[in-house]
């Protein structure tokens, strides 16, 4: 019966192990599903629609082959359509039956920045992510809903025609591991039963000995003869074949039993060793079956969802998407930082103009011009690419788009963070910084909308702020000129008033220097602050206020008061470098651009307008004509 149970255990082991192996081999389906994307008429650009990318669950893998440069980018579908609106392109969409189809989309707009000419897609700030390679490219993506993919070359050559998209399939076999383990257990059980059956069989068929002859009747021994019997000499050893006389001495041990016991001990050890050796191959077979196993062959417990922070700010109905994502903003900032670093090294104003505009560009142009003659003239602050501490993109689907960000200089706490605004005028242009200033030491930004939500731009003439953005620069310029005599001085906080005082103190120092040189009798020096030509940029805050960026021009005019007097620039090399003259009989006008960021409260609030950041650079020096 033991043999029967052993055979049953072996059969069960073979079935279980075979089933487990079959699940990982002959019954295992394909690892992924693929779709070959073809186009009928090659174009410079191919757009893979979001519905195609998300037609199967899981990560999307795009493989493209072609000659030369291969470029792949991810972008919101609406942004891609806007970028391609002035040119024709292939669009791959999903048909009702689940197959992919392609069609050529013709241009829909012209003018307003749209050129219709071949345009290299590499380097555009519009992309959420992008990759470039030569001849072949593999891109693994997790594309969300509403995001499409652009495949192109350099904008001139046709887009790669050999494009394959694949998605992974679930090939997990959670019962393969348990089946093989159970088979290994039954295999071991069968071996144990088999060994026990053999042992039992051997014991049942062992040699049978004949029964011993009948023993003689034992007679009683006389105790009185015991002493004489003990004193008698030992009998000589019997000869071979002779029968021993009388019973054997009772004081000696029989060696035969000892030899028999040792033999039985040896015979008992041998089967145990054999059974141990039989277990080794069984364990080896089970280990070999499981050695190549992966986590896919085991059941997985239901994963507990990772808790996510509760959103404290909800999107309003119909609110548009933020202009950039955090990853996209970091990539844009890195590009801006690298471009301006190269421009600063070579004093290349043209290169700087690709990433700056307005007062920020004017300050760098002036600095580059002066550095040609004055080597130690300070350049405006470099744009760091280390860390975006605060990002507030405009929630807007069209253009122009504006982004506000606060950037730190790595871990260096001694360098003030920079707050800046950058604007993208149209889909075909990159972002340019229009205003940038250093944060004040004690400044604290108001509560702003998170980056994933975005904020709205406050209209320049908004009546819902304590001061309309259009009037802010003019009012603060009045405070600089008139101090506490200005009707607007009580609207600004102490930080703003202290900064205005520092401007007036620098003016007084120049007046004193002119007097110390005995030039105040032959020349006049006047000052005036006015709103700069740049339009204000106002990003709304959660408390119905706004952060407003404005520019104030602080001008200094020096003129001779005598017909025989001239204004010399011997002690002003920067003015000499900008004007190209040593002296003038009419005088000079020097303009310093002051870039300012204010936190403006809502109308009716008791809070004052707070100065957040300020930066002052030489803007221009011109001779009076």
pLDDT in tens, 114-142: 455 678 999 999 999 999 999 999 989 88
Instruction: Indicate the angle between helix axes 326-346 and 358-371, nearest 10 degrees.
Output: 30
Provide the whole-model pTM: 0.77
Angle 394-461-440 from CA coordinates, rounded to 5°: 60
* Site of tokens 């600089």: 480
Range of lowest pLDDT (43-57, 209-223, 425-439): 209-223
How far, CA to CA in Å, does 447 sit from each of 76, 390, 541, 547?
Answer: 28, 11, 6, 10
Count of Cβ atoms closer than 10 Å to residue 535 Cβ: 15
| Burial of residue 7 (number of CB atoms within 10 Å: 0-12, 13-18, 19+) | middle
Q: Are 65 and 164 in contact (CB under 8 A)?
A: no
Quick one: pLDDT band at residue 241, thresholds 50, 70, 90? very low
List 529's β-bridge partners, or say none: 554
Quick one: pLDDT band at residue 315, thresholds 50, 70, 90? low
R_g (Cα) of the chain, nearest Å? 47
What are the tokens at 452? 């994933």
Judged against a pLDDT cut of 90, whether residue 177 lies above it is answered with: no
Quick one: pLDDT band at residue 276, thresholds 50, 70, 90? very low
What are the tokens at 267? 């015979």
pLDDT computed for residue 386 by the predictor: 81
Chain segment 44-67, per-residue pLDDT in tens: 999 999 999 998 888 899 999 999
Rounded Cα distance between 585 and 561, Å, is: 10
């Amino acid at each position: 019966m033991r043999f029967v149970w052993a055979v049953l255990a072996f059969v069960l082991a073979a079935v279980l192990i075979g089933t487990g192996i079959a699940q990982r081999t002959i019954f295992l389906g394909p690892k992924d599903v693929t779709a070959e994307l073809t186009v009928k008429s090659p174009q410079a650009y191919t757009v893979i629609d979001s519905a195609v990318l998300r037609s199967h669950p899981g990560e999307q893998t795009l493989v493209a082959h072609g000659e030369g440069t291969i470029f792949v980018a991810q972008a919101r579908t609406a942004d891609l359509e806007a970028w391609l609106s002035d040119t024709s392109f292939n669009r791959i969409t999903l048909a009702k039956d689940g197959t992919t189809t392609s069609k050529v989309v013709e241009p829909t707009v012209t003018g307003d920045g749209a050129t219709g000419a071949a345009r290299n897609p590499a380097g555009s700030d519009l992309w959420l992510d992008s990759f470039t390679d030569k001849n072949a490219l593999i891109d693994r993506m997790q594309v969300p809903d509403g995001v499409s993919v652009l495949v192109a070359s350099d904008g001139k050559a046709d887009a790669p025609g050999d494009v394959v998209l694949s998605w992974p399939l679930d090939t997990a076999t959670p019962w393969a591991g348990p089946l093989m383990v159970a088979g290994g257990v039954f295999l071991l059980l069968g071996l144990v039963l088999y060994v026990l059956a053999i042992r039992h069989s051997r014991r049942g068929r062992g040699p049978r000995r004949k029964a011993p002859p009948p023993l003689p009747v034992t007679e009683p021994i006389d105790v009185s003869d015991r002493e004489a019997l003990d004193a008698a000499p030992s009998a000589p050893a019997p000869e071979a074949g002779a029968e021993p006389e009388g019973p054997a001495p009772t004081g000696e041990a029989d060696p035969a039993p000892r030899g028999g016991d040792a033999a039985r001990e040896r015979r008992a050890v041998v089967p145990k060793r054999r059974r141990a050796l039989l277990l080794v191959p069984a364990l080896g077979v089970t280990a070999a079956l499981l050695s190549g196993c992966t986590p896919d062959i085991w059941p997985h417990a239901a994963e507990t969802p990772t808790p996510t922070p509760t959103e404290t700010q909800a999107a309003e109905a119909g609110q548009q998407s933020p202009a950039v994502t955090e990853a996209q903003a970091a990539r844009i900032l890195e590009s801006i930082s690298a471009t301006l670093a190269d421009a600063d090294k070579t004093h290349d104003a043209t290169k700087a103009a690709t990433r700056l505009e307005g007062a920020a560009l004017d300050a760098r142009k002036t600095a580059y011009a002066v550095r040609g003659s004055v080597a130690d003239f300070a350049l405006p602050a470099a744009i760091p690419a280390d860390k975006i501490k605060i990002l507030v993109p405009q929630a807007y689907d069209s253009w122009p788009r504006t982004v506000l960000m606060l950037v730190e200089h790595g871990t260096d706490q001694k360098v003030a963070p920079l707050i800046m605004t950058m604007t993208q005028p149209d889909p075909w242009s990159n972002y340019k910084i229009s205003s940038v200033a250093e944060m004040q030491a004690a400044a604290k930004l108001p509560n702003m909308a998170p980056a994933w939500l975005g904020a709205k731009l406050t209209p320049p003439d908004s009546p819902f702020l304590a001061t309309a953005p259009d009037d802010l620069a003019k009012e603060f310029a009045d405070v600089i000129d008139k101090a506490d005599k200005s009707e607007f001085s009580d609207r600004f906080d102490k930080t703003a008033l202290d900064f205005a005082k520092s401007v007036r103190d620098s003016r007084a120092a120049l007046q004193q220097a002119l007097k110390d040189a005995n030039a105040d009798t032959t020349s006049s020096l006047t000052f005036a602050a006015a709103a700069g030509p740049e339009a204000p940029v106002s990003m709304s805050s959660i408390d119905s206020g706004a952060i407003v960026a404005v520019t104030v021009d602080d001008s200094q005019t020096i003129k001779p008061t005598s017909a025989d007097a001239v204004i010399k620039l011997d002690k002003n090399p920067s003015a000499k470098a900008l004007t190209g003259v040593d002296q003038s009989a009419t005088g000079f006008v020097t303009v310093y651009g002051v870039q300012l960021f204010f936190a403006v409260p809502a109308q009716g609030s008791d809070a004052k307008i707070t100065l957040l950041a300020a930066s002052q650079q030489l803007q221009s020096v011109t001779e009076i004509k």
